[in-house]
Amino acid sequence: MSFLLAAASPSVSINFGKSLSRPSDSLLIILGIALIAVAPFLLIMLTGFTRIVVVLGLTRSAMGVTVPPNQVLVGLALFLSLFLMAPTLSQMNTTALQPYLHGKEDTSQAFAAAERPLETWMLAQTGKTQLEMLAQAAHEHPKSPKDLPLTTVIPAFLLSQLEEGFLIGFVIFIPFLVIDLIVSSALMSIGIVMLPPTLISLPFKIMLFVLVDGWALVAHALLAGFH
């Protein structure tokens, strides 16, 4: 830092050189801590985690079992979400984070650059009905969905994810429900009414799910359902 005192006029100019060309280490540490604090919230709100964890939970309920435990389902949903978001995160890193760390963009520019690929991905997964409902509630009339702010896109995206998750869960429930009905009818036809049908149908449901490689099919259907 250098101080230049002009002889002709009593003015002082301060030259910071290149000290402001890139964020300081202290600022990066603060941003890193803040990101870690809000990371679980961002993971749930801005990725496909919501749909994935809903479908996995309904699949477990359809079989009528308590395994895998919640930690396993959440962990599987986490890594499937990261796998799904890898291209978008890579684009955000290239267009926003790296230019910001190298001092080529300021905070507002980096945020705007990171917002564009994320918003594009979310809009591709969001239903038109949910977008129109939220836009009308916010009294917004954009020319295209890309003109909507994130405050409107995010809740519309979450509503769409919940709807898709429950629709997929409904389809998964059907074959297990058929097995329950068949076992229940068979037990009633032979006069066994005191034995719970679910006790007999449970091994058949587990066997069917294992034979068709059910978890892999569910994971493939989830990943293929995202655009």
101 vs 37 pLDDT, higher one: 101
User: Is the preceding peptide bond at 68 cis, omega within 30 degrees of 0?
Assistant: yes
Look at residue 27 and tell me whether its pLDDT is greater than 80: no
Residue 1 lies in a domain: no
Residue 22 lies in a domain: no
5 vs 56 pLDDT, higher one: 56
pLDDT at 185: 85
pLDDT at 22: 57
Report d(CA 47, CA 81) in Å as an integer: 6
Range of the domain at 79: 43-224
pLDDT at 95: 86
Specify the number of domains making up the chain: 1
- State the chain's mean pLDDT as an integer: 81
In this structure, of 91-100, 119-128, 161-170, the range with the lowest mean pLDDT score is 91-100
Look at residue 45 and tell me whether its pLDDT is greater than 90: no
From the number of C-beta atoms within 10 Å of its C-beta (0-12, 13-18, 19+), residue 69 rates as: exposed
Name the band, by pLDDT with cuts 50, 70 and 90, for residue 79.
very high
Mean pLDDT of 94-115: 81
Residue 182 lies in a domain: yes
Residue 66 lies in a domain: yes
pLDDT at 187: 81
Residue 208 lies in a domain: yes
Residues facing residue 3 across a β-bridge: 14
Residue 37 lies in a domain: no
Question: Which of 12-16, 27-31, 45-49, 141-145: highest mean pLDDT?
Answer: 45-49
pTM comes to 0.78
Name the band, by pLDDT with cuts 50, 70 and 90, for residue 28.
low
Residue 137 lies in a domain: yes
Which pair of structure tokens corresponds to residue 40?
């679980």
Residue 101 lies in a domain: yes
Report d(CA 172, CA 166) in Å as an integer: 10
Closest listed residue to residue 168, CA positions, set 225, 84, 227, 85: 225
